[in-house]
């Protein structure tokens, strides 16, 4: 039976950079509860290597950052959202410096790296390639000093809706926690793919629960695959190899030792991630793979200082980056799509806000510019809290009719088998390369299995599987409807870009869907 266990001003769900920053921003004038499904540091933020892009250098400007972001987004960026992010980015960096984030320095000035598709060196980093970990550790220390109620290992199953507003959340254990606003910061959905850089917790829970509650989601077909992920002999033998290595001169070579990227893009290894990923697959499919990342022209001392995490991980797999080429291949990395938001993190459901990877602000368009994700999470988390504080205050409410008791189901089979098959099939048919026939077959598979999971479940594994199925269906629906290739979405049966599709696809549960553009086009 559902039971009311807490009443707050703001509930924040998720503990990556967006959730932690939102909690710190909200703590001064609100009763805040932060819920996270695992430990605080089990996030994509913790794993982030490259850094935070911001126009802080004298020779750089928000205008140049704006243009680079639009170029990477392949015509689908929300220009106003991008303008907000690049303009407020330097101020956010100053706030992080005041909080004590230990950004690397060179001769007393902030050290800046250049990554793919950036026209300037503008990526701030910490500990060489440990930016996410050191950023998260700093924010967690500040959070521990605040008044925020932090609850780890709490799995949220549903958002609560009353009179058309979000007013709280329900947990797997049956707790009901109410608030006048809920901020989703649940991160990504990379675990729907067999090969991914994302941690185990990234099962798309926030997108799924928002969609079930009636919020609009957008751009779900755009999933970015990071080109350079270590390719071990087994699925779990993976680790991200930051784009910053290519910024420092690392090149991609095939099995014959031939550098191939100059033949695919004018920026070679620093081209957009979708271009690099497809070029690598082309090498594999034409028999010139496997593909290796080669940075052996750099000294061991340089590599151990600039990329200590990557150097150590490679060493543990038997590779010395100063001497050896590292086998790499693409893996699911970042979802450009998510819960549709406005410039203040507001969703289409009053009382619900979203920031970070779970949100679709429109900043990334069809393809995220490297190292824009941490900046986007920080900027829009701050804006969401400002909007909540400025909004008319609705009292948190709870009624037994809001979340009536429902039969809890137990699964008799092996959900792990379905999960493994889902991830394998999504990677093969809705990954870097797609076509209509494969997507249709995948759609049938998802529809058949989704019918078995649209109910209340007794354990977290099944809830996660339900969420994975729901977000996979949204990815596939978007990919089928978008009959072109653009950014991270590439269909071999529609290899060209079509101006007819220079628009975002928005999906709302229960609304009539248009075959080409979804229920709403914006």
Give the CATH number, domain containing residue 58.
Answer: 3.50.50.60
Q: How many domains does the chain have?
A: 3
Same domain? 18 vs 83: yes
DSSP output for 504-522: -EEE-TTS---TTT-SEE-
Residue 281 lies in a domain: yes
Question: How sure is the predictor about 115, in pLDDT bands with cuts at 50, 70 and 90?
Answer: confident
Question: How sure is the predictor about 99, in pLDDT bands with cuts at 50, 70 and 90?
Answer: very high
Integer CA distances (angstroms), 175 to 182, 422, 498, in order: 16, 30, 48
Return the pLDDT at 432: 96
Residue 356 lies in a domain: yes
Return the pLDDT at 483: 97
Same domain? 7 vs 79: yes
Question: How sure is the predictor about 117, in pLDDT bands with cuts at 50, 70 and 90?
Answer: confident
Report how far residue 415's alpha carbon sits from residue 313's, in angstroms, rounded to the nearest whole number.
32
CA-based nearest residue to 358, from 345, 371, 372, 344: 345
Same domain? 81 vs 36: yes
Q: Give the CATH number of the domain where residue 247 resides.
A: 3.90.700.10
Same domain? 458 vs 363: no
Query: Residue 514 pLDDT > 80, yes or no?
Result: no
Residue 436 lies in a domain: yes
Q: Give the CATH number of the domain where residue 479 resides.
A: 1.20.58.100
Query: Residue 356 pLDDT > 60, yes or no?
Result: yes
- Residue 197 carries which DSSP code? S
Residue 399 lies in a domain: no
Same domain? 243 vs 189: no
Q: What is the pLDDT of residues 138-162, one digit of tens each?
A: 999 999 999 999 999 999 999 999 9
Residue 140 lies in a domain: yes
Same domain? 382 vs 357: yes
Residue 42 lies in a domain: yes
* Residues with Cβ within 8 Å of residue 56, at least 6 apart in sequence: 89, 90, 93, 110, 112, 122, 124
Return the active site residues.
273
Same domain? 144 vs 271: no
CA-based nearest residue to 254, from 291, 222, 211, 199: 291
Tell me which of 47 and 482 has the higher pLDDT: 482
Query: Residue 403 pLDDT > 60, yes or no?
Result: no
Return the pLDDT at 375: 98
Question: How sure is the predictor about 520, in pLDDT bands with cuts at 50, 70 and 90?
Answer: very low
Going by their DSSP bridges, the two strands 149-151 and 123-124 should be labelled as unpaired
Tell me which of 1 and 46 has the higher pLDDT: 46
Cis peptide leading into residue 474 (ω within 30°): no
Q: How large a percentage of the chain has pLDDT more than 70? A: 93
Query: Residue 132 pLDDT > 70, yes or no?
Result: yes
Residue 267 lies in a domain: yes
Q: What is the pLDDT of residues 293-330, one digit of tens each?
A: 999 999 999 999 999 999 999 999 999 999 999 999 99
Query: Residue 188 pLDDT > 50, yes or no?
Result: yes
Same domain? 373 vs 422: no
Return the pLDDT at 396: 57
Same domain? 195 vs 108: yes
Residue 347 lies in a domain: yes
Tell me which of 319 and 232 has the higher pLDDT: 319
Tell me which of 274 and 181 has the higher pLDDT: 181
Question: How sure is the predictor about 517, in pLDDT bands with cuts at 50, 70 and 90?
Answer: very low
Q: What is the CA radius of gyration of the chain?
A: 22
Q: What is the pLDDT of residues 418-472, one digit of tens each?
A: 999 999 999 999 999 999 999 999 999 999 888 777 677 778 999 999 999 999 9
Query: Residue 474 pLDDT > 90, yes or no?
Result: yes
Return the pLDDT at 518: 42
Chain center to CA of 16: 10
396-421: average pLDDT? 66
Q: How large a percentage of the chain has pLDDT more than 90? A: 82
pTM: 0.92
The answer to whether 521 and 506 are in contact (CB under 8 A) is yes
Same domain? 285 vs 170: no
Question: How sure is the predictor about 3, in pLDDT bands with cuts at 50, 70 and 90?
Answer: confident
Return the pLDDT at 516: 36
Return the pLDDT at 414: 73
Query: Residue 404 pLDDT > 90, yes or no?
Result: no
Query: Residue 395 pLDDT > 80, yes or no?
Result: no
Same domain? 428 vs 460: yes
Query: Residue 186 pLDDT > 80, yes or no?
Result: yes
Tell me which of 408 and 504 has the higher pLDDT: 504
For residue 293, the enclosing domain spans 227-331
Same domain? 325 vs 385: no
């Amino acid at each position: 039976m559902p039971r009311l266990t807490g009443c707050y001003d703001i509930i924040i769900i998720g503990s990556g950079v967006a959730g932690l920053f939102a909690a710190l921003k909200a703590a001064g004038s609100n009763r805040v509860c932060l819920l996270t499904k695992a430990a605080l540091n089990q996030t994509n933020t913790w794993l982030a290597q490259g850094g935070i892009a911001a126009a802080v250098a004298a020779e750089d400007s928000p205008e140049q950052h704006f243009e680079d972001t639009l170029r990477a987004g392949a015509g689908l960026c929300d220009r106003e959202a991008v303008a907000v992010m690049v303009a407020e980015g330097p101020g956010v960096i100053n706030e992080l410096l005041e909080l004590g984030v230990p950004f690397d320095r060179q001769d007393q000035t902030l050290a800046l790296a250049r990554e793919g598709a950036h026209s300037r060196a503008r990526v701030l980093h910490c500990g060489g390639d440990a930016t996410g970990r050191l950023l998260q550790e700093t924010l967690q220390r500040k959070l521990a000093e605040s008044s925020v109620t932090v609850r780890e290992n709490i799995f949220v199953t549903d958002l609560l809706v009353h009179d058309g507003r979000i007013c709280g959340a329900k947990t797997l254990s049956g707790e009901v926690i109410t608030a006048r606003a809920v901020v989703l910061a649940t991160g990504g959905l990379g675990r729907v793919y067999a090969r991914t850089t994302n941690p185990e917790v990234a099962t798309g829970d926030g997108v799924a629960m928002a969609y079930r509650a009636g919020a609009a989601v957008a751009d779900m077909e755009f999933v970015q695959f990071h080109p350079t992920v270590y390719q071990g002999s087994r699925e779990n033998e993976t680790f991200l190899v930051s784009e910053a290595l290519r910024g420092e001169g690392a090149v991609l070579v095939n099995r014959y030792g031939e550098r191939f990227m100059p033949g695919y893009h004018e920026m070679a290894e620093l081209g957009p991630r979708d271009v690099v990923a497809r070029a690598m697959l082309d090498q594999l499919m034409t028999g010139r793979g496997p593909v290796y990342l080669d940075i052996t022209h750099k000294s061991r001392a340089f590599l151990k200082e600039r990329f200590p995490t990557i150097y150590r991980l490679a060493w543990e797999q038997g590779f010395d980056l100063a001497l050896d080429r590292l086998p790499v291949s693409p893996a699911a990395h970042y979802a450009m799509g998510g819960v549709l938001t406005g410039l203040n993190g507001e969703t289409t459901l009053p009382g619900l806000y979203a920031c970070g990877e779970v949100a679709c602000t429109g900043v990334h368009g069809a393809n995220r510019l490297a190292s824009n994700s941490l900046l986007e999470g920080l900027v829009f988390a701050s804006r969401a809290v400002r909007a909540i504080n400025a909004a008319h205050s609705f009292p948190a409410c709870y009624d037994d009719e809001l979340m009536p008791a429902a039969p809890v189901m137990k699964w008799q089979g092996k959900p792990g088998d379905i999960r493994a098959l889902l991830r394998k099939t999504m990677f093969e048919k809705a990954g870097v390369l797609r076509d209509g026939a494969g997507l249709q077959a995948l759609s049938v598979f998802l529809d058949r299995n989704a019918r078995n999971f649209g109910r209340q479940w007794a354990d977290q594994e099944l809830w996660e599987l339900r969420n994975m199925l729901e977000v996979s269906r949204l990815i596939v629906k978007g990919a089928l409807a978008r009959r072109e290739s653009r950014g991270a979405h590439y269909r071999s049966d529609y290899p060209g870009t079509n101006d007819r599709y220079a628009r975002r696809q928005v999906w709302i549960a229960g609304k009539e869907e248009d075959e080409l553009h979804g229920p709403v086009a914006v």
